[in-house]
Structure 1
Amino acid sequence: MGESGDDAHTEKDRNKRWEMAFKARMRQIIPGLFLGNVEASHKQDMLRENRITAIVSLTDARWVWWNTTTREAGIPEQRHKWVQCADSSTQDLLAYMNDICDFIDQMASPALLSSTSLEVQPEHYESNVEPRDVPSEAILIHCDLGISRSPTIIIAYLMRKYAMKQDDIMEFIQFKQKVKPSANFLRQLQVWEEVE
Structure 2
Amino acid sequence: MTAVGAQFTEDQLREMIQGPGEEWTYEMRRQCQEILPNLFLGPLQASKSLEALKSLGITHILCIRDAKEAFSVRPRFPEQFRYMVLDVEDNEEQNLIRLFPRAKEFIDNALARGGRALVHCNGGISLSPAFVVMYVMQYYRLSWEDALHLVQNRRYCISPNGGFLTQIKEYESIYKANLVVGTFPAQERMSRRKREDDEDDNDRPTDDRKRALVDGDEDDAMQS
* Closer/same/farther in 2, CA of residues 84 and 20 from structure 1, 3 Å limit: farther
Runs of 5+ in structure 2 lacking a partner?
Answer: 1-25, 176-224
Q: Which residue of 1 aligns with 2:191?
A: none
Task: Provide the secondary structure at the position in 1 that maps to 2:98.
Answer: helix
Quick check: 1:58–1:143 contact (8 Å CA) kept in 2? yes
Which has more radius of gyration? 2
Quick check: 2:63–2:74 contact (8 Å CA) kept in 1? no
Q: CA deviation at 1:65?
A: 8.3
1:93 aligns with 2:90: no
Identical columns (%): 26
* Closer/same/farther in 2, CA of residues 20 and 91 from structure 1, 3 Å limit: farther
Task: Provide the secondary structure at the position in 2 that maps to 1:39.
Answer: helix
Aligned residues: 147
Amino acid of the structure 2 residue aligned with 1:31: P
Q: What TM-score do the two structures reach when normalised by structure 1?
A: 0.68
Q: CA deviation at 1:109?
A: 5.3
Amino acid of the structure 1 residue aligned with 2:172: E
Post-superposition Cα deviations, 1:23-58, rounded to whole Å, max 9, x if no partner, equal 741111121000010121121111111111001111
In 1, distance between residues paired with 2:78 and 2:30? 15
Q: CA deviation at 1:93?
A: 1.1
Q: What TM-score do the two structures reach when normalised by structure 2?
A: 0.60
Runs of 5+ in structure 1 lacking a partner?
Answer: 1-18, 112-136
Superposition map of 1:60-75 within 5 A: 60=66, 61-63=69-71, 66-71=74-79, 74-75=80-81
Task: Provide the secondary structure at the position in 2 that maps to 1:181.
Answer: coil
* Closer/same/farther in 2, CA of residues 150 and 49 from structure 1, 3 Å limit: same
In 1, distance between residues paired with 2:96 and 2:117? 19
Bigger CA drift: 138-147 or 166-175? 166-175
Q: Which residue of 2 aligns with 1:149?
A: 127
Q: Which residue of 1 aligns with 2:46?
A: 40
Superposition map of 1:21-40 within 5 A: 24-40=30-46
- The structure showing larger relative contact order (alpha-carbon pairs under 8 Å, at least 6 residues apart) is 1
Bigger CA drift: 102-111 or 144-153? 102-111
Q: 1:186 aligns with which of 144, 162, 165?
A: 165
In 2, distance between residues paired with 1:142 and 1:65? 9
Q: CA deviation at 1:170?
A: 1.0
In 2, distance between residues paired with 1:30 and 1:104? 11
1:53 aligns with 2:59: yes
Task: Provide the secondary structure at the position in 1 that maps to 2:94.
Answer: coil
